[in-house]
Structure 1
Amino acid sequence: MDSVQPQFSLKHSLLVLGRSLGSGAFGSVQEARWGNQPCAAKTFFLSQSDLDLQSIQREISVLQKLRFRHIIQFYRTHEEHGRIHLLMELAEKGSLAHAINRKEIGLDDWVTKRRLASEIAQGLAFIHQEKVLHRDLKSANVLLTRHMEVKLADFGLAKVKSMTMAATRASQSKVGLAGTLRWIAPELLFAKKPEYTTKSDVYALGVVLWEMAAHCTRPFADQDNDAFVALAVSQGDRETFPVNTPTEYRDWAERCWSQDPENRPDASEVALIAGELVEANGDAGGEGDDRSFVDLSITDADLTYGLMLQSGGKQGGIIRKKTFYDDADQLHHIGRLPSTDDDEVVAHMCKAAKQGIVEGQLFLGWIYDHGRGVDKSEKDAFWWYRLAASQGPVVAQLRVAKMYELGQGVDKSHAKAASWYQRAADGGSAEAQYRIGSMYAEGLVVKYDEEEALKWYLSAANQGQIDA
């Protein structure tokens, strides 16, 4: 068990174990305190088989590299009396499966279901971006904080990059193939050399979306024979959605579990669609910010330090103050986006982006947009701009609008472009105000309205928009 890193161990006096949170084939989970920090302790016995210990090692290895708001955070390990404790972020409400089974208040609300779907997909998209496959996604492995925020968990079967299913099948002989088979994609079930891909995870995501819709945590619950279920799924059979399921929710869930993996969306696409639906219908999310990364989290002080490094000691304060800059390039040229020449600053901003801080998300959007220090990728640029835009900066909203209008990194949609132009215009963007004015003047997407067109043209002109 050499790779369960001894350098992460801590004095036992700092660790206090509390009530049981559950148990499984590999071990038990207890609420705990590490000093003053609440956490969860996942406990294993060193006497377990080599296969079990390999799974523990894999989970530690994967979690150490995944720092994102919707991924359960790994703190460190502690070994004593033949046991290993994995200390992790505490998700007070337990698993999504538990919440579904006990009919948690709020899960009958489609706005909440859309938000949870978006957060699950965001977590999945992040690990895929980090070249990690989950390979065991189901509601039992989605945890919820006290604010009903999603945390993906249980990376014991996760693997970096695609791999054959042999190791997974060996592991599943311990965790129970019946426990995961009903979430396994059809192309994996009977193939001689099946390989997991990101689209295999997306299939499982579709099943999780059905679980939330149907308030049921066991697909094909009326069929006890797993072999029959596997055969049916391999031939295209799927569960049915309740009649009250919103059409758009059912449609993208069914896309996720398409028989052909090529017809399944990326997790990032599901996250964006679900996020837009939440914004359109109002967010029923919990209050407050539930991030608890202990000493691994980025703080405002960290961000300020990163900005000061690139500005010679003068605080930039790039986006937290309201700004009407219309272009990320403008922000970069005047020094309000960090230089990509400083590796330390770039590392700070990437860490910020992955923990949900808007400045970092805007920065990653910009570097992918322009290919600065990374391979140019309109799709990745759109993903990060879109995450930033949902938090408010008009520069990100304007870029998202343009990308929808031009079909850059996302399917072209004049309606979605208009929606984002409107948000940026309301936020004070002169260019967005001019574009909204043009839409009213030309009757594009919106109904022709000369007075509205004139109002927006004047607003843009007053800010120096020369075309207006």
Structure 2
Amino acid sequence: MHELFIGSGEQSRIFGHLLLLSAQDISAYAFHRPHDTMEDPTILIHPRFFSTKFPYPARATFSTPAQLAAPEQTTSCYGVERDNNYVYIITDYAEGGNLTEALPKLDWESKRRIVAEVAQGLAYLHSKGIVHRDIKEENILLTKHWQVKLCDFGLANVMASATQVSSFKAKGTPGYIAPELINTNPKYSTKSDIFALGIIMGKMVEKDAPSDFTTLMKRCLDNDPEKRPTASDIVDGLQVVATVRSDAGGDSAAETAHSLSANDEYDLGIKFYDGDGVDVNRAEAAERFRRAANMGLAKAQHQLATMYSNGDGVLRDMAKAIGWFQKAAKQEYAPAQSDLGFLYLFGGKGDSKQGSELIMAAASQSHAAALVDLGFMLETGLGGCQDHESARRFYLMAAELGDAEAQTILGSLYMEEENYAKAIEWLSKATEKGYAPAQCNMGTLYHRGQGVTKNDSVAAGWFEKAADQGNPAAQCRLGAMYIRGKGVLRRNASKGLRLLHKAAEQGSAEAQTALGAYGVSL
């Protein structure tokens, strides 16, 4: 295993985990090694993050499973390893660096989103009785998509035992320390973290800063901790400050008094969403969809719900997503009925019976995705009725409507029945749409010589198209071909192992087994 030095924290140095043998093979992990001057460290692993204390005998402590759920805004901890010299903490590797490096590049939309995500992470920690105690730009990591990952919990502690501090260094970083901590009897609370976040917000403020943002920042910096907002208050406040404003109860008459109709707002939202003649701006798109949604346009309500569900242009909020899906579904808008039914039935978000009814209602309108879901319900017996013949009939209806997923399912069923002519017929329709699972299945047919002349080169081409879209089965099979030198221009074991590793990270058991066979661990 090779190492790449990334940086140094208060209590450990951070290295990238080079899983494979070349400089291009950095995996999505980092590990933390205590400084050489520290002996026998104790590593305490909290849910989805860690704190490090010294100098006690080395051990690892994990919280109960019920406590392990954590938001995306905290750094994930994957475990602890030790050898004769060190204890290693394996965490996420944030490719985007930290906020200090990114701050000069941020526009207002990004600044607001990042502050809101930091507040979301803090709200979770505070709800679990944890005070971070060292919030600063260097401890706010960013993924390659600039999503927040809070890190460096070296000073973090549960509130019950964090009320007293014994040294200035233990209070946090100078310049971010709350006033109540600079006295002879300092008391920590969640509001200490809020003050530090206010300092960060202050560094974001420019001459054209929105007044609401600066007002929220000043509240965070209040000398009286009791007057500072909670982390949840900040999240709520930034929902108002951000381009997408409050939509819980609709707009005021003044806000909706604009000249565009609901359909015009929706069309403009699509332009901003897709970048059709304008720069892509998902937040502005969401605002346009929200306006149209508040005027009762079902397709806008559905689009806004989808964005809340995915955290696309807005802060991810499943409660709001479901609320907008419900509004559109009440208008018998089939896509909303289908998506809401899916959440109820498969996502554990509601009544499964109601989910089945919604999917059937959407299917009755010949909505392709609902027909596929209904076929799956009948194929698996989900909902209490199993009927393979009816399932295939619904798949066929969706496939004839042009649904690539249904076409691929039919192709797979025909492959199982060894009716390769029909399999190729349906898979070809799906591959024309660039659907990755169909491309992978087509590669399998050429690799095995089923219904076509065996051709590893053609197979590799299909696998590559699907692998480029992140399909784990294709990544696994193409990786094996590169390792063996089959169907590719030249053997490339390093590239093959990288592909296997990508597939394994997505949960591919086939790839995990293959990596084990090659003596490579995740």
TM interval, short-chain normalised: 0.3 to 0.5
Higher relative contact order (CA 8 A, sep 6+): 1
Q: Which has the larger radius of gyration?
A: 2
